[in-house]
Structure 1
């Protein structure tokens, strides 16, 4: 059995995050010691590592919950897992496209900078609301 601090170190997860995952039912509740300290078994550490890896890949809490539920039926087709991962990838690609557009806009604004005064600043001018608005 591992204390919450040990579980945090072994899974590279903050103690507060472990408590949160437990509170929302994403992580199985820890056993308690006679001193009322949380104690985690290897199965919970594996569960926490799974959660941590999925979160690092950008899956939402609800997506992680769904993946964990699907993982409990190893004989089932992985079509649902694939579909969930594909939807997530589509979202990641959309965000990348949005960030690429944002980068282009910022490059455009910065290319107009002439290092003059604020009164001549093209960036401030572009951010200001239109006249009469």
Structure 2
């Protein structure tokens, strides 16, 4: 293939694939969540689309374990380091994230993740 023809093929490939590159970037939502006294600062509902690769970075002022129901994912949070909860949002619905820790109030929802079709 001559250089001008190779350039045309490369430009055509870029034109065809460019929309998919933007969609791939949009399909990886990242959230930062802060818990103080076991309560989330800010909105308690994270919204994503089904098929997204979701990342939730969590910091807390106290050690706890977070459990994402429906996906059966547990993440240990040990202050002051952030913990990462990552998953592919395969299931549509509204899923609670419960805290598991010692003492009173040890199994309650601290936030929700809504996965929209």
**TM-score under structure 2 normalisation?**
0.29
The structure whose Rg is larger is 1
* Greater relative contact order (Cα < 8 A, sep 6+): 2
Higher strand share: 2
TM-score (norm. length: structure 1): 0.26
Flag the structure with higher helix content: 1
